[in-house]
Amino acid sequence: MHRIERIEGTALPMRGDDIDTDRILPARYLRAITFEGMEQHLFEDERAGSAGGDRVTSTHPFDDPRFRGATILVVNRNFGCGSSREHAPQGLYRAGFRAVIGESFSEIFFGNSMLIGLACLTAPPGQIAELQARVEQRPDATLRIDVKASICEFDGLRIPLSLPASARDALLTGAWDTTGMLLDRYEEVNAASAKLPYVSGF
Amino acid sequence: MGKTLLQKVWDLHTVRTLSTGQTQLFIGLHLVHEVTSPQAFDALRARGWRVARTDRTFATVDHIVPTRERTRPFLDVMAEDMIAALERNCREFGIRLAGLDDDRQGIVHVIGPELGLTQPGITLACGDSHTSTHGAFGAVAFGIGTSQVRDVLASQCLALEPMQVRRIRVTGKLPEGVYAKDVILTIINRLGVGGGVGYAYEYAGDTIERMSMDERMTICNMSIEGGARVGYVNPDETTFAYLKGRPFAPAGDAFDRARAWWRSMASDADARYDDDVVIKAEELTPVVTWGVNPGQSVPVTGRVPTGRDTGADPKAIADALGYMGFKGGEPVAGMKIDVAFIGSCTNSRLSDLREAARIVRGHRVAPHVQALVVPGSASIKRAAEGEGLDQIFREAGFEWRGAGCSMCLGMNPDKLVGSQVCASSSNRNFKGRQGSPEGRTLLMSPAMVAAAAITGAVTDVREFTHAVGADL
């Protein structure tokens, strides 16, 4: 379990509100018993050559060679809504992404991402729009996220970021992988559950 | 100051506050299915962990099961692998499984309530976003991802952030032809698909109080489509009557003790809410979605928006219209459909099938429409057949299938083809949701799907209910 204090890399702007996890990772690829290879199917149905995308020249940012190798995704409102499939953040993580900056996230997507070490941070709409525009102008420039200070810097632009204190602490202390923490002092779990009338059969 | 049901359940299930500031919450029931669990079981094996509470864990198969040909091994090798993996994992870890041949098999959110596993005042988790369905019983039910499935398997706990509570009061009498589905689609349309982020939705008011458990489940099911991870209805006599006699519900004196406790878990009259919304039932109409998220809907008497409508995001409307191939301003009634699907964890319960059958009786499915009915569970299928509903559907030209998630999500052989338009009683009209990258979904109530199947186009079900009503 490692600590995540800084995240740096080039960025990829993915515009649009309410981008759901069915779009991020189509359901047919959930028919597998591992997460291996999920990165190959990100936004598959709307990218070049797909039935739902532009068959000739894709305008999809995930097909844009300027953003190849990006490790930070910049999105808009309610990103990752819909299905709880962890395959969506797993696909992003396996494609090399280490952070998503957006206006807001669906709670389930946020929780799934945090548990695999994919940091999700928010900023107001105006600043997201500016960041997306700047990244498009300078796709080769490095975006730097300081988790502790909750700030990002890009090409002279500084944007304060938000994330819940618990999420920030989890990243900074490496406590984002929760199972060990939940199993710690297990007698307390047993004591709490024993008090529940339905556990003891009323 | 009183407390909401959410606060009571939260407080009672809190183990402690974690070093991160999150709450460690005990999970009273963990429901498991084949799609989001295999990697979690692998993680347990890799670390040498056991399943902490097999007595509070129950599994079934629903997402990838074929609804027509169920002979094993499946022709679909990947589906066979996933079912086999769940069977192996349940055997190895000692988890109860209602497998493919079990007479309790069905959609996880249908069978939990049916078996009496879902009860008021409990915490419940499942690796599926529609877990909010179980809130209909006054449970606090969370949809989770696979890493959290691992957490719950290993520890029977989740690390969670607290939530706010928005009370949505629905008051007044629902007009004829307007169903629970129309209520929740209207709520999502008004509050937005992201409007519930950070909130639990408490559905209250006399309209909700008069609803059956099936109707309450339809409402709570789609909480997540409004961004609310949790949605619930306070438990009452309707809830208790539903639970009595169910296989896993308490029996005898224990039922009376349980009822007293369940009642005590309901929100107090003087509870404080972070937000309050009122919806007037008598103003509601049957609703149809025209776009690519469940908030993009209009009354069946209405028109597709143009992008010039006030308050709407023109870019989002243009994008949705482009995908759907619809023109702004055209009426939704009369839009041609290719497929009619009655099923899913939203609307596949016996009362849904009865209502759809009432519309269908004596009619024929339009020649160009493929129509299918997929009961939510093996038990609902048997009950419907016992009432002869299957005959009504078959005679009208519907296919009558085995229980599963079917055409809701494109993970099994039931899929749209090309740019087909589907009138669907399911919960999501996302791009590609029903298994074709160009497929188009129009969400509506099961009765509206039945009416569309017959006419071959989006139809105001009230034209049918008036006629049917006269017959009864």
Residues B103 and B190 in one domain: no
Closest to B452 measured CA to CA, from B375, B331, B356, B321: B356
Residue B107, C-beta contacts closer than 8 angstroms, at least 6 positions apart: B62, B344, B345, B348, B376, B377, B403, B404, B405
Provide the token pair at B20. 């991160």
Residues B298 and B434 in one domain: yes
Residues B95 and B181 in one domain: no
In this predicted structure, what is the pLDDT of residue B124? Answer: 98
Mean predicted confidence (pLDDT) in B140-160: 97
Residues B170 and B152 in one domain: no
Interface of B with A in 17-56 (CB under 8 A): 18-22, 24, 26, 28, 35-36, 38-39, 42-43, 47, 49, 52-53, 56
Mean predicted confidence (pLDDT) in B342-366: 97
pTM over 0.95: yes
Residue A13, C-beta contacts closer than 8 angstroms, at least 6 positions apart: A61, A67, A74, A131, A132, A133, A135, A136
User: Using 50, 70 and 90 to split pLDDT, how confident is the model at B470?
Assistant: very low
User: Using 50, 70 and 90 to split pLDDT, how confident is the model at B471?
Assistant: very low
Interface of B with A in 288-307 (CB under 8 A): 293
Residues B220 and B244 in one domain: yes
Q: State the Cα–Cα distance between residues B251 and B244, nearest whole angstrom.
A: 7
Residue B345 lies in a domain: yes
Contact A84 B26 (CB under 8 A): no
Provide the token pair at B70. 């169920």
Residues of A in contact with B289 (CB under 8 A): none
Provide the token pair at B364. 């024929």
In this predicted structure, what is the pLDDT of residue A58? Answer: 72
Residue B253 lies in a domain: no
Residues of A in contact with B82 (CB under 8 A): 31-33
Residue of A nearest to B324 (CA): A52
Q: Are A16 and A69 in contact (CB under 8 A)?
A: no
Q: How far is CA B17 from CA B13, B383, B470, in A?
A: 12, 46, 60
Number of C-beta neighbours around residue A158 at 10 A: 10
The tens-digit pLDDT sequence of chain A (202 residues) is 689 999 999 999 999 999 999 999 999 999 999 999 999 999 999 987 776 665 556 789 999 999 999 999 999 999 999 999 999 999 999 999 999 999 999 999 999 999 999 999 999 999 999 999 999 999 999 999 999 999 999 999 999 999 999 999 999 998 888 999 999 999 999 999 999 999 999 9
Residue B362, C-beta contacts closer than 8 angstroms, at least 6 positions apart: none
Residues B336 and B279 in one domain: no
Q: State the Cα–Cα distance between residues B263 and B265, nearest whole angstrom.
A: 5
Residues B365 and B424 in one domain: yes
Residues of B in contact with A178 (CB under 8 A): 147, 151, 159
User: Using 50, 70 and 90 to split pLDDT, how confident is the model at B308?
Assistant: confident
DSSP E strand stretches across B69-117: 96-98
How many residues in total does chain A contain? Answer: 202
Residue A81 backbone phi and psi in degrees, to 5: -75, 170
Query: How many domains does chain B divide into?
Result: 3
Residues B298 and B429 in one domain: yes
Contact B436 A169 (CB under 8 A): no
Q: State the Cα–Cα distance between residues B36 and B39, nearest whole angstrom.
A: 7
Q: State the Cα–Cα distance between residues A163 and B219, nearest whole angstrom.
A: 31
Residue B48 lies in a domain: yes
Contact A82 B428 (CB under 8 A): yes
Q: What is the mean pLDDT of chain B?
A: 96
In this predicted structure, what is the pLDDT of residue A177? Answer: 80
Note the pLDDT tens digit of each residue in B191-223. 999 999 999 999 999 999 999 999 999 999 999
Mean predicted confidence (pLDDT) in B282-293: 97
Q: Are B402 and B71 in contact (CB under 8 A)?
A: no
Provide the token pair at B213. 């458990």
Q: What is the mean pLDDT of chain A?
A: 94
Residues B150 and B234 in one domain: no
CATH of the domain at B241: 3.40.1060.10
Q: State the Cα–Cα distance between residues A139 and A131, nearest whole angstrom.
A: 11
Please say if the pLDDT value at position B70 is more than 90. Answer: no
Residues B300 and B242 in one domain: no
Domain range enclosing B264? 164-248+258-283
The identity of residue A30, as a single letter, is L
Query: Cα dihedral angle (B43, B49, B54, B57), rounded to 10 degrees?
Result: -30
Contact A82 B151 (CB under 8 A): no
Residues B10 and B124 in one domain: yes
Which of 3.30.70.1450, 3.55.30.10, 3.10.20.30, 3.20.19.10 is the CATH number of A6-175? 3.20.19.10
Task: Give SS3 for B88.
Answer: helix
Please say if the pLDDT value at position B466 is more than 80. Answer: no
Closest to A106 measured CA to CA, from A124, A86, A90, A133: A86
Q: What is the CA radius of gyration of chain B?
A: 21
Number of C-beta neighbours around residue B169 at 10 A: 17
Please say if the pLDDT value at position B312 is more than 90. Answer: no
Residues B136 and B49 in one domain: yes
User: Using 50, 70 and 90 to split pLDDT, how confident is the model at B43?
Assistant: very high
Place of tokens 């995001």: B313
Please say if the pLDDT value at position B152 is more than 80. Answer: yes
The order of strands in the sheet holding A119-122 is A11-13, A72-74, A99-102, A119-122
Place of tokens 């191939």: B325
Contact B431 A45 (CB under 8 A): yes
CATH of the domain at B140: 3.30.499.10
